[in-house]
Amino acid sequence: MQKKILIVEDEESLLKLESILLTTKGYLVQGVTSGLSALEAVNEEHPDLILLDVMLPKMDGFEVCQRLKNDPATRGIPVVLLTAKKTPEDLARGEEVGADHYITKPFKSAMVIDIIEQLVGKKS
């Protein structure tokens, strides 16, 4: 069964790039561009993993992650924060809201794939 990954990224070009990368690796990918649509998509699609940008319109990735981790229905879904924010405060905030991993941009695709495979297992 294909693993489902939800990508939350407000920058269209990055969203496309990440989607193509994960699709070619055999994952089922859905992309959304805001924190609110991410929360809706999680409830409808029940992804196996969420790749979450921090800087999003209206509700940032930290807030989205915290809401997901506070909800018993979504708590178990691994969340990987993918962001240009890399100060020690940002990293601490990522941990505080329960992110399973924190990747800073620019990133290497191979590293993202490795982390996803560690968290959800290789595609079957």
Structural domain spans, the chain: 4-119
Strands of the chain, DSSP E: 4-8, 28-32, 49-53, 79-83, 101-104
Q: Could you list the pLDDT tens digit for every one of the 124 residues in the chain?
A: 899 999 999 999 999 999 999 999 999 999 999 999 999 999 999 999 999 999 999 899 999 999 999 999 999 999 999 988 889 999 999 999 999 999 998 888 899 999 999 999 865 4
Q: What CATH code would you report for 4-119?
A: 3.40.50.2300
To the nearest 10 degrees (0 to 180), the angle between helices 109-120 and 12-24 is: 60
pTM above 0.85, yes or no: yes
CA 17, CA 20: separation in Å to the nearest integer? 5
